[in-house]
Amino acid sequence: MNIRNKNIKASATRNKADFIQAANNKFGFKVEGKGTYIWTSEVAEEIATMWKPERVFNLSYRCVKKEVTSYEMKTVGNNHYWVVTELDGTVLVIDEIEYTKSYYNGTRAKKAKATDYIAPHKCFGYFTSIESAAWVERDVEECEVKDSYYRWRLNLVTLIKETFK
């Protein structure tokens, strides 16, 4: 095979991977049913009685599983967010998405699935209402530079308003 054919083959592979990644960025998924869980901690729950802390006055930072009704990866613009429904019906919006190492480092040759992502972490912070996200909206309104961070926050505010109408 000559150099030209190698370049054409490499380009076709790259284009296919870019197409699949673009498709993955447009679609979310939902995980629900028995055994669905997210990660949380005493600090995230703000309940000192749930797990015994290591010290008398400090809450524990270690992550533990918490069963939930469902969690869904929603896509707004080109950004992804978790929408979690807890067992008591509380809805949370979490703005931290993590890939698994094998998916992140691997080639994107097929559509993403739930096992390509790490389950949501309530420990990273979450929003439970429009009022809890008021500071994010003020941040967006006061922003002078319209960069990618601005668009990410604007998409987050859009999702929060849609979720907590």
136 in a structural domain: no
Mean of the per-residue pLDDT values of the chain:
79
For residue 82, the model assigns a pLDDT of 92
Has residue 89 been placed in a domain?
Answer: no
Domain-located, residue 151? no
Domain that holds residue 51: 3-68+95-125
Note the pLDDT of residue 13.
Answer: 65
Within 10 Å of residue 103's Cβ, how many Cβ atoms?
16
Tell whether 159 is covered by a domain.
Answer: no
Q: Tell me if 161 is assigned to some domain.
A: no
Please give the structure tokens belonging to residue 71. Answer: 């969690």
Q: Tally the domains of the chain.
A: 1
Instruction: Give the pLDDT confidence of 115-149 residue by residue, as tens digits.
Output: 888 889 888 888 888 888 888 888 888 888 888 88
Q: Which residue has the higher pLDDT, 33 or 49?
A: 33
In a domain, 31, yes or no: yes
In a domain, 33, yes or no: yes
Is residue 137 a part of any domain in this protein? Answer: no
Give the Cα separation of 15 and 9 in Å (integer). 10
Identify whether the C-beta of residue 133 lies closer than 8 Å to the C-beta of residue 153.
no
What does the pLDDT read at residue 48? 43
